[in-house]
């Protein structure tokens, strides 16, 4: 059976009158100067189609493909490791249901709970989040984050538990960076960075605190919920399998903004807030 040696996403096409061209993983086309090499022999080697003898010219071109990362040895999809399979999902079912389905398809074992139950007015405790010894905790909110709700969860990486979250503010949703080790970006860091980045920091802080007067409620559509769940599952899968990010910002330093009206995703780099840096003051 033929086995392609080209890396996933790279393709070679024969262009009438112009020879061979490579379509890269970014969707760009690059011409291949084959010189005296036999184009069919080159394609045979690149696709692993059979024992076609390769000339020195063909081997030179294959080495050039290898040098720029278009050719690799046999690769297999990374499997979800057993010690990271236990993922606890908290929050709103409109998001946790599709996320659980994505994670199951990837090989994880998702445990879904609507919320961490605490006495009214009492903060969530880190002991409640660590109950059952999960490898990761994902918290999905179909609305803004109440003040202090994620304070304990921000300490999960200190206990060796990955921490991932998303929430909605009107027609905008935010998928925050995955935090896996102490020093990674927490929810408090994202909150502080967002306040510092906008001239409307007083208004944003007031919006988070509430109360908020709204018109007709925003309803997450099935495609919008599926998109948010897919983004979360992809970030979690990359952490679990150690898969490298090949485009955009690293998952642990990336804040995604999703326009729920158009399903447009925008990435923003975000860094941890140094301990000595004061959080922007909020009006009382």
Quick one: pLDDT at residue 1?
40
Q: Kindly state whether residues 18 and 103 are assigned to the same domain.
A: no
In a domain, 282, yes or no: no
> Residue 21's domain spans which residues?
11-67
Q: Kindly state whether residues 61 and 99 are assigned to the same domain.
A: no
In a domain, 274, yes or no: no
Quick one: pLDDT at residue 122?
66
Say how far apart CA 74 and CA 68 lie, in whole Å.
17
Q: Kindly state whether residues 44 and 127 are assigned to the same domain.
A: no
In a domain, 232, yes or no: yes
Residues of the chain where predicted confidence (pLDDT) is lower than 50: 1-2, 284
Which residue has 């304070």 as its token pair? 151
Quick one: pLDDT at residue 74?
55
Say how far apart CA 265 and CA 284 lie, in whole Å.
33
Q: Pairing between strand 86-91 and 19-23?
A: unpaired
In a domain, 108, yes or no: yes
Q: Kindly state whether residues 146 and 59 are assigned to the same domain.
A: no
Q: Kindly state whether residues 184 and 264 are assigned to the same domain.
A: yes
Convert the pLDDT of each residue in 236-278 to its tens digit: 999 999 987 766 788 899 999 999 999 999 999 999 998 765 5
**Number of domains observed in the structure of the chain:** 2
Q: Kindly state whether residues 34 and 92 are assigned to the same domain.
A: no
In a domain, 277, yes or no: no
Quick one: pLDDT at residue 256?
97
Q: Kindly state whether residues 34 and 122 are assigned to the same domain.
A: no
Q: Kindly state whether residues 19 and 122 are assigned to the same domain.
A: no
Q: Kindly state whether residues 60 and 98 are assigned to the same domain.
A: no
CA dihedral 62, 18, 247, 7 (to 10 degrees): -30
Q: Kindly state whether residues 38 and 166 are assigned to the same domain.
A: no
Quick one: pLDDT at residue 248?
72
């Amino acid at each position: 059976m033929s086995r392609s040696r080209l890396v996933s996403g790279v393709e070679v096409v024969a262009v009438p009158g112009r020879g061979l061209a490579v379509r890269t993983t970014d969707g760009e086309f690059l011409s291949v100067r084959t010189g005296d090499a036999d184009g069919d022999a080159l394609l045979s080697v690149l696709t692993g189609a059979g024992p076609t003898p390769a000339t020195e010219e063909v081997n030179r071109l294959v080495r050039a493909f290898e040098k720029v990362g278009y050719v690799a040895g046999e690769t297999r999809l990374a499997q979800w490791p057993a010690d990271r399979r236990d993922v606890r999902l908290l929050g709103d079912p409109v998001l946790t249901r599709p996320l659980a389905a994505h994670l199951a398809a990837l090989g994880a074992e998702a445990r879904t709970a609507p919320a961490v139950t605490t006495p009214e007015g009492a903060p969530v405790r880190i002991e409640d989040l660590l109950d059952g010894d999960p490898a990761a905790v994902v918290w999905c909110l179909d609305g803004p984050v109440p003040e202090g709700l994620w304070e304990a969860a921000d300490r999960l990486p200190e206990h060796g538990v990955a921490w991932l979250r998303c929430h909605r503010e009107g027609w905008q949703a935010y998928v925050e960076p995955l935090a896996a080790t102490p020093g990674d970006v927490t929810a408090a860091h994202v909150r502080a960075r967002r306040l510092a980045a906008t001239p409307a920091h007083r208004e944003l802080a007031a919006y988070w605190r509430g109360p908020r007067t709204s018109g007709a409620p925003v309803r997450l559509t099935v495609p919008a919920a599926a998109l948010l769940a897919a983004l979360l599952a992809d970030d979690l899968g990359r952490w679990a399998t150690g898969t490298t990010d090949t485009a955009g910002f690293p998952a642990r330093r990336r804040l995604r903004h999703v326009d729920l009206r158009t399903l447009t995703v925008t990435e923003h780099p975000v860094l941890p807030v140094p301990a000595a840096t004061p959080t922007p003051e909020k009006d009382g």
